[in-house]
Amino acid sequence: MTRPNIHVVHRSWDKDFPIIERAEGIYLYDTTGKQYIDGSGGSSVVTSIGHGNREVIHAMASQMDKFSLIPAHAFTNQPQLDLGDLLVSLAPGELKGNCRVWFACTGSDANDDAVRLARQYFVEIGKPSKYQVIGRWRGFHGNTISAAGMSGIAGRRSIFQPMYVDSPHIPPAFCYRCSFEQTYPSCSLLCARTLESIIRQQDPETVAAFIAEPVVGAALGGVPAPDGYFEKIREICSKYDVLFIADEVMTGWGRTGKLWGIEHWQATPDIITTAKGISGGYAPFSAIIARDSIWSVLQQNHSAFKAGHTLNANAVSCSAALAVIHYIMDHGLVENAQNRGLQLIKGLNTLKEKHQIIGDVRGKGLMVGFEFVKDKQTKTVFPPQLKLSTLFEKLALKNGLVTYPCTGSIDGVMGDMVLLAPPLIITESEIDDLINRIDLCIIELEELLPS
């Protein structure tokens, strides 16, 4: 049984948190022996290679045997150097072999570092008026005050809004609920073209960067931008000398069925942020990957990058990331994510036909979501007071499945969704099991809903 929660503050005051005793592959086991499928890949989209991987454990333990943290202002370490080489060799598009990396601890601080780099770069090339970062409504970039200012989930923003360096936002690329009430492709990608209007309204001389997730995770439950979107974004950013930052904190490392989420489009970002799946949850870790031409400016000016946290580039975290990435590449997990993702989407679409309350199924690879509706035709949603996605999460836990509840598809507050992101090692029969459990949970949810 769970001990009463007295001293530790958890993410909710209103529910019990079972204690997990061990985890293996795609499964978690609590102290009563109950098994759960890690269907959201941690909280969330983290556990890329599953739990208890011996290769990662061995790599981390042997590094710990040598040393863990060294004074980073005075020394470097071999795992950090090896990981830098690996990331540069695996970077997408024109970045491959043409970029450098900076290591950090979490997705939020990687995004903070990315906008610091953009700002410092423009100051150092003699364009100090460029400082603004444009984000997207229903985007999520982290929970630090700076990352939250770029994010666009109204429900999470309002309390802290007076403290943000607030960003201008453009509407999301979300065809199911298009902010412009248009239809793809006759819309000619108005959601992307809006970036140009906002840059011009803000004055291009003030805009340093645009940040977006290739597939929106926490805020929209696995929504990929439509074809052509990021090509248009790239074109606009280049036209106005605005750096394009791809937030690949969730989408990197095979999650979407390609090594990088942005590889679904023909567009190379100037800066990529990565976290979560890069170390698979074995150690807190993140990185930014940026064009050589950006770092060269700082280097030529002998100007150190003005960022950094005490635990950055921890040697144990770097060795974990090295082992995780090698495991992903050596075991064909990018391809597995693509194939199992297609199977998962197909299964969910069958459930969409069967159940009135599933309005949309979306995603890429093993970053997949579905959205609840009261009425499929009108796409009306359930009242937020019902907390439908949280209700679903509870039923799923009862049925041995961890899911990630998301809210706010309509306006950052209303609209319930579920995000699924099981470890990339998941097998065909395990996906079938996952789909069956979701079916069961939806049946139980439907019984609870007011008629």
Ligand X SMILES: Cc1ncc(COP(=O)(O)O)c(C=O)c1O
Instruction: Compute the least distance from the CB of residue 273 to ligand X, in Å.
Output: 7
Closest to ligand X by CB, 325 or 373: 325
For residue 337, give Cα distances in angstroms to 27, 52, 88, 232: 17, 19, 23, 27
Q: Which residues bind ligand X (CB under 6 A)?
A: 106-108, 111, 140-142, 213, 217-218, 247, 249-250, 275
DSSP letter at 134? E
Amino acid symbol at 213: E
Closest to ligand X by CB, 49 or 357: 49
How many whole angstroms separate alpha carbon 301 and alpha carbon 145? 30
Closest to ligand X by CB, 217 or 412: 217
Closest to ligand X by CB, 142 or 152: 142
Closest to ligand X by CB, 99 or 249: 249
CB nearest ligand X: which residue?
107
How many whole angstroms separate alpha carbon 41 and alpha carbon 48? 7
**Is the sign of the CA dihedral 159, 164, 166, 169 positive or negative?**
negative
- 74-77: list long-range contacts, CB under 8 Å, 24+ apart: 76/313, 77/313, 77/315, 77/318
Instruction: Compute the least distance from the CB of residue 192 to ligand X, in Å.
Output: 19
Query: How many CB atoms are closer than 10 A to CB 27?
Result: 17
Closest to ligand X by CB, 112 or 270: 112
Burial of 253 (0-12, 13-18, 19+ CB in 10 A): buried
